[in-house]
Amino acid sequence: MPRYTVTVTPTSAVPSRLRSTSTSCHLDTPSSNKHNDNKHQLPTTTISMTEESEALLGLDDGHESIDLSTSSPTLPPSTSPSPTPSRSSSSSSSPSVSPAPLYISHFLSTWNTRLFEFAAVLFLSAAFPDTLLPVSVYAVTRGLSAMLFAEAIGGYIDRGDRLQVVRVSIIGQRLAVAVSCAVFLRLLGSTDAPILASLRTLSLRALFVKSRQLPTSTSVLSVPFALAVICACVEKLCATMNLVAVERDWVVVLTENNERARRHVNAQMRRIDLFCKLVGPLSIALAAAAFGTKTAVWATLGMSAVSVVAEYFCIALVYRRVPALWRRGNQAREAVHEDGARDGNARHDARYDARADRAGCSPFASLRLYFAHPAFLPSFSLAMLYLSVLSFSGTMVTFLLASGYTPLAVGLARTASTVFELSATWIAPKLMARIGLVRGGIWSLSWQAIWLTAATTLFLSSPHSLVGATGLAVGVMCSRIGLWGFDLCAQNIVQDEVAGDERGSFSTAEAAFQNLFEVLAYTTTIVFHRPEEFQWPVAVSVGAVYVAAALYTLFVRRRRGHLFHPPVPVKRWLEKWRARQ
Protein backbone atom coordinates (compact mmCIF):
# COMPACT_ATOMS: atom_id res chain seq x y z
CA MET A 1 0.00 0.00 0.00
CA PRO A 2 1.67 3.32 -1.03
CA ARG A 3 2.22 6.03 1.51
CA TYR A 4 0.90 9.47 0.53
CA THR A 5 2.47 12.66 1.79
CA VAL A 6 1.46 16.25 1.17
CA THR A 7 4.23 18.85 0.87
CA VAL A 8 3.40 22.55 0.72
CA THR A 9 6.23 24.59 -0.83
CA PRO A 10 6.64 28.16 -2.11
CA THR A 11 5.99 28.53 -5.82
CA SER A 12 9.55 29.67 -6.39
CA ALA A 13 10.76 26.14 -5.60
CA VAL A 14 8.37 24.51 -8.05
CA PRO A 15 9.15 23.93 -11.74
CA SER A 16 7.63 26.47 -14.08
CA ARG A 17 5.02 24.03 -15.39
CA LEU A 18 3.57 23.71 -11.86
CA ARG A 19 3.79 27.33 -10.79
CA SER A 20 0.76 29.03 -9.38
CA THR A 21 0.09 32.50 -8.12
CA SER A 22 0.70 31.47 -4.52
CA THR A 23 1.33 27.94 -3.22
CA SER A 24 1.50 24.41 -4.62
CA CYS A 25 0.70 21.00 -3.18
CA HIS A 26 2.93 18.11 -4.28
CA LEU A 27 1.70 14.51 -3.97
CA ASP A 28 4.31 11.75 -3.99
CA THR A 29 5.04 8.31 -2.65
CA PRO A 30 8.16 6.68 -1.23
CA SER A 31 8.55 4.70 -4.42
CA SER A 32 8.72 7.77 -6.62
CA ASN A 33 12.42 8.31 -5.80
CA LYS A 34 13.25 4.93 -7.29
CA HIS A 35 12.04 5.97 -10.71
CA ASN A 36 13.65 9.39 -10.95
CA ASP A 37 16.24 8.05 -13.40
CA ASN A 38 13.56 6.74 -15.72
CA LYS A 39 11.45 9.89 -15.35
CA HIS A 40 8.47 7.90 -14.03
CA GLN A 41 6.99 10.22 -11.46
CA LEU A 42 3.51 10.43 -10.02
CA PRO A 43 1.47 13.46 -11.10
CA THR A 44 1.58 16.66 -9.07
CA THR A 45 -1.39 18.77 -8.12
CA THR A 46 -1.38 22.54 -7.84
CA ILE A 47 -3.81 24.13 -5.43
CA SER A 48 -4.19 27.87 -5.04
CA MET A 49 -4.32 28.77 -1.37
CA THR A 50 -7.69 30.45 -1.42
CA GLU A 51 -10.27 29.87 1.29
CA GLU A 52 -11.56 26.85 -0.64
CA SER A 53 -8.05 25.39 -0.81
CA GLU A 54 -7.52 25.84 2.89
CA ALA A 55 -10.83 24.12 3.52
CA LEU A 56 -9.83 21.23 1.24
CA LEU A 57 -6.48 20.80 2.95
CA GLY A 58 -7.94 21.06 6.40
CA LEU A 59 -5.96 24.20 7.29
CA ASP A 60 -8.94 26.07 8.69
CA ASP A 61 -10.32 25.37 12.11
CA GLY A 62 -13.49 23.77 10.88
CA HIS A 63 -11.88 21.05 8.78
CA GLU A 64 -9.76 18.23 10.05
CA SER A 65 -8.87 15.93 7.17
CA ILE A 66 -7.72 15.76 3.60
CA ASP A 67 -8.91 13.26 1.02
CA LEU A 68 -6.73 13.21 -2.11
CA SER A 69 -6.96 10.48 -4.72
CA THR A 70 -4.59 9.52 -7.53
CA SER A 71 -4.16 6.71 -10.01
CA SER A 72 -2.45 3.63 -8.62
CA PRO A 73 -1.96 0.06 -9.85
CA THR A 74 -3.54 -1.20 -6.61
CA LEU A 75 -6.85 0.55 -7.20
CA PRO A 76 -9.69 -1.00 -9.20
CA PRO A 77 -9.77 -0.19 -12.91
CA SER A 78 -12.45 2.45 -13.00
CA THR A 79 -12.98 6.03 -13.93
CA SER A 80 -10.34 8.32 -12.48
CA PRO A 81 -11.60 9.85 -9.27
CA SER A 82 -12.31 13.52 -9.11
CA PRO A 83 -11.08 15.73 -6.29
CA THR A 84 -13.06 15.47 -3.11
CA PRO A 85 -15.35 18.49 -2.64
CA SER A 86 -14.83 20.71 0.32
CA ARG A 87 -16.99 20.34 3.41
CA SER A 88 -18.55 23.71 2.83
CA SER A 89 -19.80 22.72 -0.59
CA SER A 90 -20.90 19.21 0.31
CA SER A 91 -22.88 20.15 3.34
CA SER A 92 -25.57 21.79 1.33
CA SER A 93 -25.72 19.60 -1.73
CA SER A 94 -26.80 16.10 -2.43
CA PRO A 95 -24.21 13.41 -3.04
CA SER A 96 -22.72 13.36 -6.55
CA VAL A 97 -23.00 9.57 -6.78
CA SER A 98 -26.49 8.19 -7.26
CA PRO A 99 -27.46 5.86 -4.41
CA ALA A 100 -29.81 3.84 -6.65
CA PRO A 101 -27.46 0.82 -7.03
CA LEU A 102 -26.97 0.81 -3.26
CA TYR A 103 -30.75 0.81 -2.73
CA ILE A 104 -31.18 -2.05 -5.21
CA SER A 105 -28.49 -4.13 -3.53
CA HIS A 106 -29.90 -3.41 -0.08
CA PHE A 107 -33.43 -4.26 -1.22
CA LEU A 108 -32.36 -7.61 -2.65
CA SER A 109 -30.35 -8.48 0.45
CA THR A 110 -33.10 -7.45 2.88
CA TRP A 111 -35.84 -9.09 0.82
CA ASN A 112 -34.09 -12.45 0.85
CA THR A 113 -33.21 -12.13 4.54
CA ARG A 114 -36.76 -11.32 5.64
CA LEU A 115 -38.30 -13.87 3.31
CA PHE A 116 -36.03 -16.72 4.40
CA GLU A 117 -36.34 -15.78 8.08
CA PHE A 118 -40.10 -16.30 7.94
CA ALA A 119 -40.03 -19.13 5.40
CA ALA A 120 -37.71 -21.26 7.54
CA VAL A 121 -40.15 -21.14 10.45
CA LEU A 122 -43.01 -21.93 8.08
CA PHE A 123 -41.20 -24.93 6.60
CA LEU A 124 -40.14 -26.29 9.99
CA SER A 125 -43.70 -25.93 11.28
CA ALA A 126 -44.91 -27.92 8.30
CA ALA A 127 -42.24 -30.61 8.78
CA PHE A 128 -42.82 -30.88 12.55
CA PRO A 129 -46.51 -30.03 13.03
CA ASP A 130 -46.91 -31.58 16.48
CA THR A 131 -44.23 -29.68 18.39
CA LEU A 132 -42.70 -26.22 18.70
CA LEU A 133 -39.35 -27.55 19.91
CA PRO A 134 -37.58 -27.64 16.50
CA VAL A 135 -38.61 -24.06 15.74
CA SER A 136 -37.46 -22.89 19.18
CA VAL A 137 -34.09 -24.66 18.89
CA TYR A 138 -33.65 -23.28 15.39
CA ALA A 139 -34.37 -19.66 16.41
CA VAL A 140 -32.37 -19.68 19.65
CA THR A 141 -29.30 -21.32 18.07
CA ARG A 142 -29.43 -18.83 15.22
CA GLY A 143 -29.46 -15.92 17.66
CA LEU A 144 -26.70 -17.35 19.83
CA SER A 145 -24.41 -17.80 16.83
CA ALA A 146 -24.77 -14.11 16.00
CA MET A 147 -23.74 -13.28 19.57
CA LEU A 148 -20.74 -15.61 19.76
CA PHE A 149 -19.24 -14.69 16.40
CA ALA A 150 -20.00 -10.96 16.53
CA GLU A 151 -16.37 -10.01 17.28
CA ALA A 152 -14.99 -12.11 14.42
CA ILE A 153 -17.48 -10.57 11.99
CA GLY A 154 -16.72 -7.05 13.22
CA GLY A 155 -12.97 -7.55 12.95
CA TYR A 156 -13.32 -8.85 9.40
CA ILE A 157 -15.43 -5.82 8.44
CA ASP A 158 -12.90 -3.40 9.95
CA ARG A 159 -9.77 -4.99 8.45
CA GLY A 160 -11.01 -6.49 5.19
CA ASP A 161 -11.44 -4.98 1.76
CA ARG A 162 -14.88 -3.37 1.65
CA LEU A 163 -16.03 -4.93 -1.62
CA GLN A 164 -14.72 -8.35 -0.67
CA VAL A 165 -16.54 -8.23 2.69
CA VAL A 166 -19.91 -7.51 1.09
CA ARG A 167 -19.40 -10.04 -1.70
CA VAL A 168 -18.48 -12.75 0.81
CA SER A 169 -21.65 -11.94 2.74
CA ILE A 170 -23.78 -12.17 -0.42
CA ILE A 171 -22.33 -15.48 -1.62
CA GLY A 172 -22.29 -17.01 1.87
CA GLN A 173 -25.88 -16.05 2.52
CA ARG A 174 -27.12 -17.43 -0.80
CA LEU A 175 -25.24 -20.71 -0.42
CA ALA A 176 -26.68 -21.16 3.08
CA VAL A 177 -30.19 -20.53 1.76
CA ALA A 178 -29.67 -22.99 -1.11
CA VAL A 179 -28.49 -25.78 1.21
CA SER A 180 -31.30 -25.00 3.65
CA CYS A 181 -33.90 -25.29 0.89
CA ALA A 182 -32.49 -28.68 -0.08
CA VAL A 183 -32.73 -29.79 3.56
CA PHE A 184 -36.31 -28.53 3.85
CA LEU A 185 -37.27 -30.46 0.71
CA ARG A 186 -35.79 -33.56 2.32
CA LEU A 187 -37.68 -32.97 5.57
CA LEU A 188 -40.97 -32.37 3.79
CA GLY A 189 -40.67 -35.63 1.86
CA SER A 190 -42.19 -36.47 -1.49
CA THR A 191 -45.89 -36.60 -0.66
CA ASP A 192 -46.43 -32.89 -0.13
CA ALA A 193 -49.74 -31.61 -1.45
CA PRO A 194 -51.06 -28.07 -1.72
CA ILE A 195 -52.30 -26.82 1.59
CA LEU A 196 -55.28 -25.24 -0.14
CA ALA A 197 -57.43 -26.83 -2.77
CA SER A 198 -58.21 -23.29 -3.91
CA LEU A 199 -57.80 -19.73 -2.74
CA ARG A 200 -61.37 -19.78 -1.46
CA THR A 201 -60.35 -21.68 1.68
CA LEU A 202 -57.43 -19.39 2.56
CA SER A 203 -56.97 -19.18 6.33
CA LEU A 204 -54.19 -18.70 8.83
CA ARG A 205 -54.64 -22.22 10.18
CA ALA A 206 -54.16 -23.71 6.72
CA LEU A 207 -50.63 -22.33 6.55
CA PHE A 208 -49.47 -24.83 9.20
CA VAL A 209 -51.65 -27.88 8.49
CA LYS A 210 -50.35 -30.74 6.36
CA SER A 211 -52.32 -33.58 4.77
CA ARG A 212 -49.56 -36.20 4.80
CA GLN A 213 -47.78 -38.60 7.11
CA LEU A 214 -44.27 -37.76 8.30
CA PRO A 215 -41.50 -40.36 8.28
CA THR A 216 -41.43 -42.24 11.53
CA SER A 217 -37.64 -42.61 11.76
CA THR A 218 -36.27 -39.85 13.95
CA SER A 219 -32.71 -40.74 12.87
CA VAL A 220 -33.60 -39.79 9.30
CA LEU A 221 -34.80 -36.36 10.47
CA SER A 222 -32.08 -35.56 13.00
CA VAL A 223 -29.13 -35.13 10.62
CA PRO A 224 -31.02 -32.93 8.10
CA PHE A 225 -32.37 -30.81 10.94
CA ALA A 226 -28.87 -30.31 12.37
CA LEU A 227 -27.68 -29.28 8.91
CA ALA A 228 -30.58 -26.82 8.66
CA VAL A 229 -29.57 -25.27 11.99
CA ILE A 230 -25.95 -24.90 10.85
CA CYS A 231 -27.07 -23.26 7.61
CA ALA A 232 -29.31 -20.92 9.61
CA CYS A 233 -26.31 -19.80 11.67
CA VAL A 234 -24.25 -19.16 8.53
CA GLU A 235 -27.11 -17.24 6.93
CA LYS A 236 -27.56 -15.11 10.05
CA LEU A 237 -23.86 -14.27 10.26
CA CYS A 238 -23.66 -13.34 6.58
CA ALA A 239 -26.82 -11.24 6.82
CA THR A 240 -25.39 -9.41 9.85
CA MET A 241 -22.10 -8.87 8.03
CA ASN A 242 -23.89 -7.37 5.03
CA LEU A 243 -26.15 -5.17 7.14
CA VAL A 244 -23.36 -3.76 9.33
CA ALA A 245 -20.94 -3.24 6.44
CA VAL A 246 -23.46 -1.40 4.27
CA GLU A 247 -25.50 0.56 6.83
CA ARG A 248 -22.74 1.45 9.29
CA ASP A 249 -19.72 1.79 6.97
CA TRP A 250 -20.60 2.28 3.31
CA VAL A 251 -23.37 4.80 4.01
CA VAL A 252 -21.00 6.87 6.18
CA VAL A 253 -18.38 6.98 3.42
CA LEU A 254 -20.93 7.76 0.70
CA THR A 255 -22.37 10.68 2.67
CA GLU A 256 -19.13 11.96 4.21
CA ASN A 257 -19.53 15.51 5.59
CA ASN A 258 -23.15 15.69 4.40
CA GLU A 259 -25.50 15.07 7.32
CA ARG A 260 -28.60 15.90 5.32
CA ALA A 261 -27.77 13.30 2.68
CA ARG A 262 -26.93 10.74 5.37
CA ARG A 263 -30.31 11.18 7.06
CA HIS A 264 -32.04 10.81 3.70
CA VAL A 265 -30.14 7.62 2.83
CA ASN A 266 -30.73 6.14 6.30
CA ALA A 267 -34.45 6.86 6.08
CA GLN A 268 -34.70 5.40 2.58
CA MET A 269 -32.91 2.20 3.61
CA ARG A 270 -35.16 1.88 6.66
CA ARG A 271 -38.21 2.14 4.37
CA ILE A 272 -36.76 -0.70 2.33
CA ASP A 273 -36.33 -2.75 5.52
CA LEU A 274 -39.91 -2.19 6.64
CA PHE A 275 -41.34 -2.90 3.19
CA CYS A 276 -39.45 -6.19 2.95
CA LYS A 277 -40.42 -7.06 6.53
CA LEU A 278 -44.11 -6.83 5.61
CA VAL A 279 -44.31 -7.99 2.00
CA GLY A 280 -41.62 -10.70 2.01
CA PRO A 281 -43.24 -12.99 4.62
CA LEU A 282 -46.68 -12.29 3.18
CA SER A 283 -45.64 -13.36 -0.32
CA ILE A 284 -44.10 -16.66 0.77
CA ALA A 285 -47.06 -17.39 3.06
CA LEU A 286 -49.49 -16.89 0.18
CA ALA A 287 -47.35 -19.10 -2.07
CA ALA A 288 -47.35 -21.88 0.54
CA ALA A 289 -51.08 -21.52 1.13
CA ALA A 290 -52.02 -21.57 -2.53
CA PHE A 291 -49.56 -24.02 -4.07
CA GLY A 292 -48.10 -26.08 -1.23
CA THR A 293 -45.11 -25.87 1.04
CA LYS A 294 -42.71 -27.58 -1.37
CA THR A 295 -43.59 -25.03 -4.05
CA ALA A 296 -42.85 -22.28 -1.53
CA VAL A 297 -39.44 -23.86 -0.88
CA TRP A 298 -38.66 -23.82 -4.59
CA ALA A 299 -39.86 -20.20 -4.80
CA THR A 300 -37.54 -19.24 -1.95
CA LEU A 301 -34.62 -20.97 -3.65
CA GLY A 302 -35.45 -19.40 -7.01
CA MET A 303 -35.68 -15.83 -5.71
CA SER A 304 -32.43 -16.24 -3.81
CA ALA A 305 -30.59 -17.60 -6.85
CA VAL A 306 -31.96 -15.05 -9.33
CA SER A 307 -31.22 -12.01 -7.17
CA VAL A 308 -27.62 -12.88 -6.32
CA VAL A 309 -26.23 -11.72 -9.69
CA ALA A 310 -27.97 -8.34 -9.60
CA GLU A 311 -26.99 -7.73 -5.98
CA TYR A 312 -23.40 -8.80 -6.64
CA PHE A 313 -22.87 -6.34 -9.49
CA CYS A 314 -24.90 -3.47 -8.02
CA ILE A 315 -22.69 -3.32 -4.95
CA ALA A 316 -19.59 -3.52 -7.19
CA LEU A 317 -20.93 -0.58 -9.20
CA VAL A 318 -21.24 1.52 -6.05
CA TYR A 319 -17.72 0.54 -5.04
CA ARG A 320 -16.18 1.52 -8.36
CA ARG A 321 -17.96 4.88 -8.44
CA VAL A 322 -16.75 5.98 -4.98
CA PRO A 323 -12.94 6.09 -4.64
CA ALA A 324 -13.22 6.69 -0.89
CA LEU A 325 -14.46 3.10 -0.51
CA TRP A 326 -11.23 1.72 -1.98
CA ARG A 327 -9.22 2.37 1.19
CA ARG A 328 -9.84 1.35 4.77
CA GLY A 329 -9.93 3.86 7.62
CA ASN A 330 -6.71 2.46 9.12
CA GLN A 331 -4.64 2.79 5.93
CA ALA A 332 -2.48 5.52 7.43
CA ARG A 333 -1.42 3.20 10.25
CA GLU A 334 -0.59 0.46 7.74
CA ALA A 335 1.48 2.86 5.66
CA VAL A 336 3.49 3.96 8.67
CA HIS A 337 4.07 0.32 9.53
CA GLU A 338 5.41 -0.44 6.03
CA ASP A 339 8.37 1.90 6.31
CA GLY A 340 8.41 2.39 10.04
CA ALA A 341 11.93 0.91 10.18
CA ARG A 342 13.23 4.29 9.02
CA ASP A 343 11.39 6.40 11.59
CA GLY A 344 11.54 4.11 14.63
CA ASN A 345 7.79 3.37 14.77
CA ALA A 346 7.84 -0.18 13.41
CA ARG A 347 7.88 -1.93 16.77
CA HIS A 348 5.00 0.19 18.08
CA ASP A 349 2.84 -0.57 15.04
CA ALA A 350 3.75 -4.26 15.13
CA ARG A 351 2.56 -4.45 18.74
CA TYR A 352 -0.63 -2.58 17.76
CA ASP A 353 -1.30 -5.03 14.92
CA ALA A 354 -0.60 -8.01 17.19
CA ARG A 355 -3.10 -6.74 19.76
CA ALA A 356 -5.67 -6.19 16.99
CA ASP A 357 -5.13 -9.70 15.66
CA ARG A 358 -5.51 -11.21 19.15
CA ALA A 359 -8.66 -9.16 19.70
CA GLY A 360 -10.16 -10.62 16.54
CA CYS A 361 -9.75 -14.13 17.97
CA SER A 362 -11.70 -13.42 21.18
CA PRO A 363 -15.51 -13.46 20.99
CA PHE A 364 -15.76 -10.75 23.67
CA ALA A 365 -12.74 -8.55 22.84
CA SER A 366 -14.81 -5.74 21.30
CA LEU A 367 -16.90 -5.31 24.46
CA ARG A 368 -14.24 -3.10 26.04
CA LEU A 369 -14.36 -0.80 23.01
CA TYR A 370 -18.15 -0.90 23.01
CA PHE A 371 -18.65 -0.06 26.69
CA ALA A 372 -16.01 2.70 26.72
CA HIS A 373 -17.21 4.43 23.56
CA PRO A 374 -19.11 7.76 23.82
CA ALA A 375 -21.86 6.30 21.60
CA PHE A 376 -22.41 3.32 23.92
CA LEU A 377 -25.50 4.65 25.71
CA PRO A 378 -27.63 5.40 22.60
CA SER A 379 -26.49 2.14 21.00
CA PHE A 380 -27.25 0.03 24.07
CA SER A 381 -30.58 1.82 24.55
CA LEU A 382 -31.54 0.82 21.02
CA ALA A 383 -30.45 -2.77 21.66
CA MET A 384 -32.59 -2.96 24.81
CA LEU A 385 -35.71 -2.25 22.78
CA TYR A 386 -35.30 -5.74 21.29
CA LEU A 387 -36.34 -7.16 24.67
CA SER A 388 -39.98 -6.87 23.68
CA VAL A 389 -42.97 -8.94 22.68
CA LEU A 390 -44.93 -5.80 21.79
CA SER A 391 -44.84 -6.03 18.02
CA PHE A 392 -47.13 -7.61 15.48
CA SER A 393 -45.06 -10.77 15.21
CA GLY A 394 -45.56 -14.37 16.31
CA THR A 395 -46.08 -13.98 20.05
CA MET A 396 -48.44 -11.03 20.07
CA VAL A 397 -50.32 -12.31 17.02
CA THR A 398 -50.92 -15.60 18.82
CA PHE A 399 -52.23 -13.71 21.86
CA LEU A 400 -54.57 -11.57 19.75
CA LEU A 401 -55.97 -14.65 18.04
CA ALA A 402 -56.51 -16.31 21.43
CA SER A 403 -58.28 -13.14 22.63
CA GLY A 404 -60.91 -13.37 19.90
CA TYR A 405 -59.39 -11.50 16.97
CA THR A 406 -59.94 -12.97 13.52
CA PRO A 407 -56.98 -13.51 11.18
CA LEU A 408 -58.33 -10.72 8.97
CA ALA A 409 -58.40 -8.28 11.90
CA VAL A 410 -54.85 -9.22 12.87
CA GLY A 411 -53.72 -8.73 9.27
CA LEU A 412 -55.34 -5.30 9.12
CA ALA A 413 -53.75 -4.32 12.45
CA ARG A 414 -50.34 -5.43 11.24
CA THR A 415 -50.77 -3.45 8.02
CA ALA A 416 -51.76 -0.34 9.98
CA SER A 417 -48.74 -0.82 12.23
CA THR A 418 -46.48 -0.95 9.18
CA VAL A 419 -48.01 2.31 7.92
CA PHE A 420 -47.12 3.95 11.24
CA GLU A 421 -43.60 2.53 11.04
CA LEU A 422 -43.11 3.85 7.51
CA SER A 423 -44.40 7.27 8.55
CA ALA A 424 -41.59 7.42 11.11
CA THR A 425 -39.05 7.34 8.27
CA TRP A 426 -40.43 10.69 7.07
CA ILE A 427 -41.13 12.20 10.50
CA ALA A 428 -37.77 11.38 12.09
CA PRO A 429 -35.55 13.16 9.49
CA LYS A 430 -37.64 16.31 9.81
CA LEU A 431 -37.46 16.08 13.60
CA MET A 432 -33.67 15.62 13.52
CA ALA A 433 -33.25 18.56 11.15
CA ARG A 434 -35.34 20.78 13.44
CA ILE A 435 -34.06 19.90 16.93
CA GLY A 436 -30.97 17.75 16.31
CA LEU A 437 -30.08 14.09 16.72
CA VAL A 438 -29.79 14.00 20.50
CA ARG A 439 -33.06 15.78 21.25
CA GLY A 440 -34.81 13.90 18.44
CA GLY A 441 -33.88 10.64 20.14
CA ILE A 442 -35.31 11.61 23.54
CA TRP A 443 -38.50 12.90 21.94
CA SER A 444 -38.95 9.64 20.02
CA LEU A 445 -38.30 7.46 23.07
CA SER A 446 -40.71 9.56 25.12
CA TRP A 447 -43.40 9.10 22.47
CA GLN A 448 -42.92 5.33 22.57
CA ALA A 449 -42.92 5.17 26.38
CA ILE A 450 -46.09 7.29 26.69
CA TRP A 451 -48.11 5.17 24.27
CA LEU A 452 -46.91 1.87 25.75
CA THR A 453 -47.71 3.11 29.26
CA ALA A 454 -51.25 3.98 28.23
CA ALA A 455 -51.67 0.68 26.37
CA THR A 456 -50.32 -1.38 29.27
CA THR A 457 -52.53 0.42 31.78
CA LEU A 458 -55.64 -0.31 29.73
CA PHE A 459 -54.55 -3.90 29.11
CA LEU A 460 -53.80 -4.68 32.76
CA SER A 461 -57.17 -3.26 33.80
CA SER A 462 -58.89 -5.99 31.75
CA PRO A 463 -56.25 -8.46 30.53
CA HIS A 464 -58.69 -11.20 29.52
CA SER A 465 -61.12 -9.13 27.48
CA LEU A 466 -61.24 -8.01 23.88
CA VAL A 467 -61.20 -4.38 25.06
CA GLY A 468 -57.87 -4.86 26.82
CA ALA A 469 -56.36 -6.61 23.80
CA THR A 470 -57.61 -3.83 21.52
CA GLY A 471 -56.12 -1.15 23.74
CA LEU A 472 -52.81 -2.97 23.73
CA ALA A 473 -52.86 -3.32 19.94
CA VAL A 474 -53.66 0.37 19.37
CA GLY A 475 -50.97 1.51 21.81
CA VAL A 476 -48.35 -0.72 20.24
CA MET A 477 -49.38 0.51 16.81
CA CYS A 478 -48.92 4.18 17.73
CA SER A 479 -45.69 3.54 19.63
CA ARG A 480 -43.98 2.29 16.47
CA ILE A 481 -43.48 5.88 15.34
CA GLY A 482 -41.30 6.52 18.37
CA LEU A 483 -39.49 3.20 18.05
CA TRP A 484 -38.34 3.70 14.48
CA GLY A 485 -37.74 7.40 15.03
CA PHE A 486 -35.33 6.56 17.83
CA ASP A 487 -33.78 3.84 15.67
CA LEU A 488 -32.88 6.42 13.03
CA CYS A 489 -31.59 8.93 15.61
CA ALA A 490 -29.40 6.34 17.33
CA GLN A 491 -28.08 5.05 14.01
CA ASN A 492 -27.08 8.56 12.94
CA ILE A 493 -25.33 9.16 16.27
CA VAL A 494 -23.34 5.93 15.90
CA GLN A 495 -22.44 6.72 12.31
CA ASP A 496 -21.23 10.20 13.28
CA GLU A 497 -19.18 9.22 16.32
CA VAL A 498 -17.64 5.81 15.60
CA ALA A 499 -14.29 5.92 13.80
CA GLY A 500 -13.94 4.19 10.46
CA ASP A 501 -11.64 1.42 11.70
CA GLU A 502 -13.99 0.65 14.62
CA ARG A 503 -17.39 0.62 12.89
CA GLY A 504 -17.48 -3.11 12.31
CA SER A 505 -16.45 -4.10 15.84
CA PHE A 506 -18.77 -1.56 17.47
CA SER A 507 -21.80 -2.37 15.32
CA THR A 508 -21.42 -6.14 15.62
CA ALA A 509 -21.16 -5.77 19.41
CA GLU A 510 -24.42 -3.83 19.26
CA ALA A 511 -25.94 -6.55 17.07
CA ALA A 512 -24.82 -9.17 19.61
CA PHE A 513 -26.73 -7.40 22.37
CA GLN A 514 -29.74 -7.06 20.10
CA ASN A 515 -29.72 -10.82 19.57
CA LEU A 516 -29.23 -11.39 23.31
CA PHE A 517 -32.26 -9.29 24.22
CA GLU A 518 -34.28 -10.92 21.45
CA VAL A 519 -33.47 -14.35 22.90
CA LEU A 520 -34.48 -13.08 26.35
CA ALA A 521 -37.79 -11.93 24.89
CA TYR A 522 -38.37 -15.46 23.55
CA THR A 523 -37.48 -16.77 27.00
CA THR A 524 -40.23 -14.74 28.66
CA THR A 525 -42.81 -16.33 26.38
CA ILE A 526 -41.39 -19.78 27.09
CA VAL A 527 -41.72 -19.24 30.83
CA PHE A 528 -45.13 -17.56 30.54
CA HIS A 529 -46.49 -19.45 27.55
CA ARG A 530 -50.23 -19.39 28.28
CA PRO A 531 -52.33 -16.52 26.84
CA GLU A 532 -53.69 -15.67 30.30
CA GLU A 533 -50.08 -15.05 31.44
CA PHE A 534 -49.26 -12.64 28.62
CA GLN A 535 -49.32 -9.64 30.99
CA TRP A 536 -45.94 -10.70 32.40
CA PRO A 537 -44.05 -10.58 29.07
CA VAL A 538 -45.84 -7.27 28.44
CA ALA A 539 -44.59 -5.88 31.77
CA VAL A 540 -41.03 -7.01 31.00
CA SER A 541 -41.21 -5.36 27.57
CA VAL A 542 -42.44 -2.03 28.94
CA GLY A 543 -39.80 -2.18 31.68
CA ALA A 544 -37.11 -2.58 29.02
CA VAL A 545 -38.38 0.57 27.30
CA TYR A 546 -38.19 2.48 30.59
CA VAL A 547 -34.60 1.31 31.20
CA ALA A 548 -33.63 2.26 27.64
CA ALA A 549 -35.21 5.69 28.13
CA ALA A 550 -33.33 6.17 31.42
CA LEU A 551 -29.98 5.26 29.82
CA TYR A 552 -30.57 7.58 26.90
CA THR A 553 -31.66 10.35 29.27
CA LEU A 554 -28.29 9.98 31.00
CA PHE A 555 -26.61 10.34 27.60
CA VAL A 556 -28.62 13.49 26.86
CA ARG A 557 -27.74 14.96 30.26
CA ARG A 558 -24.03 14.31 29.71
CA ARG A 559 -24.05 15.60 26.17
CA ARG A 560 -26.17 18.74 26.56
CA GLY A 561 -25.81 19.53 30.26
CA HIS A 562 -29.58 19.67 30.69
CA LEU A 563 -32.65 17.68 29.65
CA PHE A 564 -35.08 20.34 28.46
CA HIS A 565 -35.45 24.06 27.87
CA PRO A 566 -37.73 25.53 30.55
CA PRO A 567 -40.31 28.16 29.55
CA VAL A 568 -39.10 31.76 29.72
CA PRO A 569 -40.98 32.63 32.98
CA VAL A 570 -39.63 29.50 34.67
CA LYS A 571 -36.14 30.24 33.38
CA ARG A 572 -36.26 33.78 34.78
CA TRP A 573 -37.49 32.50 38.13
CA LEU A 574 -34.67 29.97 38.26
CA GLU A 575 -32.11 32.66 37.46
CA LYS A 576 -33.44 34.87 40.28
CA TRP A 577 -33.44 31.93 42.67
CA ARG A 578 -29.86 31.07 41.81
CA ALA A 579 -28.85 34.71 42.23
CA ARG A 580 -30.23 34.73 45.77
CA GLN A 581 -28.22 31.63 46.60
**What pLDDT shows up at residue 272?**
92
For Cα atoms 348, 155, 244, give the angle at the middle one, nearest 5 degrees. Answer: 140
Measured CA to CA, the distance from residue 311 to residue 477 in angstroms comes to 33
Q: Report yes or no: 275 and 284 within 8 Å, Cβ to Cβ.
A: no
Provide the residue-wise pLDDT of the chain in tens; the chain has 581 residues: 444 444 444 444 444 444 443 444 444 444 444 444 444 444 444 333 333 333 333 334 333 333 333 333 333 444 334 344 333 333 333 345 677 888 999 999 999 998 898 888 888 878 877 666 777 788 888 888 888 888 888 888 888 888 899 999 999 999 999 999 999 998 887 444 444 433 333 343 433 333 444 443 343 347 888 899 999 999 999 999 998 888 888 888 888 878 888 888 888 988 998 898 888 888 888 888 788 888 989 999 999 999 888 998 899 898 888 888 886 544 434 443 444 444 444 443 444 344 444 444 454 667 888 898 889 999 999 999 999 989 887 778 778 878 888 877 887 888 888 889 999 999 999 999 888 889 999 999 999 999 999 999 999 988 788 888 899 999 999 999 999 999 999 988 988 888 877 888 888 888 889 888 988 888 888 788 788 888 899 999 999 999 999 999 999 988 877 666 666 676 777 777 778 77
pLDDT at 555: 93
Question: Is residue 319 one of the residues assigned to a domain?
Answer: yes
Is residue 32 a part of any domain in this protein? Answer: no
Counts of helices then strands in the chain (DSSP H, E): 21, 2
pLDDT of residue 293: 85
Same domain, 300 and 382: no
Contact of 237 with 145, CB cutoff 8 Å? yes
Same domain? For 317 and 424 the reply is no
Which pLDDT belongs to residue 197? 38
Domain count, the chain: 2
Judgement on whether residues 414 and 539 belong to the same structural domain of the protein: yes
Supply the pLDDT for residue 564. Answer: 65
The pLDDT value recorded for residue 180 is 92
Q: Per the domain annotation, does 411 fall within a domain?
A: yes
Q: Rounded CA gap, 48 and 40, in Å? A: 25
Which of 314, 334, 354 is the last residue before a domain boundary?
334
45: DSSP letter: B
Distance CA 360, CA 268 (A): 32
**73 belongs to a structural domain:** no
pTM beyond 0.75: the answer is no
What's the CA gap between 415 and 406, in Å, rounded? 14
Same domain, 320 and 381: no
Helix (H, G, I), strand (E, B) or coil at 6: strand
Q: Report pLDDT for 299.
A: 92
Q: What is the pLDDT of residue 321?
A: 87
The reply to whether 49 falls in a domain is: no
Q: CA–CA separation, 284 vs 288, rounded Å? A: 6
pLDDT of residue 581: 72
Which of 310, 334, 358 is the last residue in one of the domains? 334
pLDDT of residue 231: 93
Asked whether residue 114 falls in the same domain as residue 224, the answer is yes
User: Is residue 204 included in any domain, yes or no?
Assistant: no
Domain match, 312 and 377 both: no
- Which pLDDT does position 328 carry in this prediction? 59
> Residue 178 belongs to a domain with what CATH number?
1.20.1250.20
SS3 25: strand
Q: Which domain holds residue 254?
A: 98-199+220-334
Last residue of a domain, one of 303, 319, 334: 334
Kindly state whether residue 531 falls inside one of the protein's structural domains: yes
**Residue 361 CA from chain centroid, whole number:** 23
SS (H, E, C) 168-207: HHHHHHHHHHHHHHHHHHHHHCCCCCCCCCCHHHCCCHHH
Query: Does residue 501 share a domain with residue 421?
Result: yes
CA distance 240 to 165: 11
Q: Which DSSP letter does residue 553 get?
A: H
Q: Are residues 436 and 327 in the same domain?
A: no
